[in-house]
Amino acid sequence: MKMQNIRIFETNLQKIQELCELYEYDNWDFRNFLKSGAFSKSEFFLIVKKVQSLIDCKKCSNCCKILKSTLNKKDIKRISSHLNLSEKEFMTNYLKKNKNQEFEFKKKPCIFLKKNKCTIYKVRPENCRDYPNLHKEIVPRTIQFLSNARVCPVAFNVLENAKNLIWVDDEYFNGWLE
């Protein structure tokens, strides 16, 4: 796989949604391929790295608008201290418990997003830092990957490049060999 073959297919959020619907069948097939683990993880991570370097999250911020990040104890401690609030004040003002009993931001778009920028960027929650989680092992996260591809240009372009560059379609090759 050549680095120069990794490219950006689309960044427009509306078009990304439409393409994900159009490619739904293929994407589920590709998900099965990913679940098999029969691909080079280092090539997949190369795609992730290159796509991340080509997309400017500051021009997007879609995850901050449509998802509610959950926060762990360390996040709460770090952010409340940054805001000069007690943990209790911070939790009362900004957080609520979700159905899994985790703390998450009360509102979306996120209250800390101003003019498309995170105003607590340096101390932002771990989940915000990690999204869309493509630096982690992909095999157990394939459903999350497809779902993130509908809303996140990084995930969408990683998916499209991976389909193009690392997908070996057994049925296709078997057809040629018969």
From candidates 48, 146, 149, 154, binder to ligand SF4 by CB under 6 A: 154
Q: Would you give the binding string for ligand SF4 spanning residues 24-63, x where CB under 6 A is met? A: -------------------------------x-x--xxxx
Query: Is residue 78 part of the contact set for ligand SF4 (CB under 6 A)?
Result: no
Q: Closest separation between CB of residue 125 and ligand SF4, Å?
A: 6
Query: Is residue 146 part of the contact set for ligand SF4 (CB under 6 A)?
Result: no
Query: Is residue 112 part of the contact set for ligand SF4 (CB under 6 A)?
Result: yes
- Residue 116 burial (CB count, 10 A): 14
Token pair for 130: 């990690």
Token pair for 168: 């070996």
Helices assigned H by DSSP within the chain = 13-22, 24-36, 41-54, 62-66, 73-82, 87-94, 126-130, 142-149, 153-165, 170-177
Distance CA 72, CA 126 (A): 8
Residues 48-67, buried b or exposed e (16+ Cβ, 10 A)?
bebbeeebebeebbebbeeb
Strand partners of residue 104: 70, 96
DSSP 109: S
Total residues contacting ligand SF4 by CB under 6 A comes to 21
Q: Find the part of the chain contacting ligand SF4 (CB under 6 A) among 29-37, 84-92, 148-156, 164-172.
A: 148-156
Q: Closest separation between CB of residue 57 and ligand SF4, Å?
A: 3
Query: Is residue 118 part of the contact set for ligand SF4 (CB under 6 A)?
Result: yes
Binding site for ligand SF4 (CB under 6 A): 55, 57, 60-64, 69, 110, 112-113, 118, 120, 124-125, 128, 131-132, 152-154
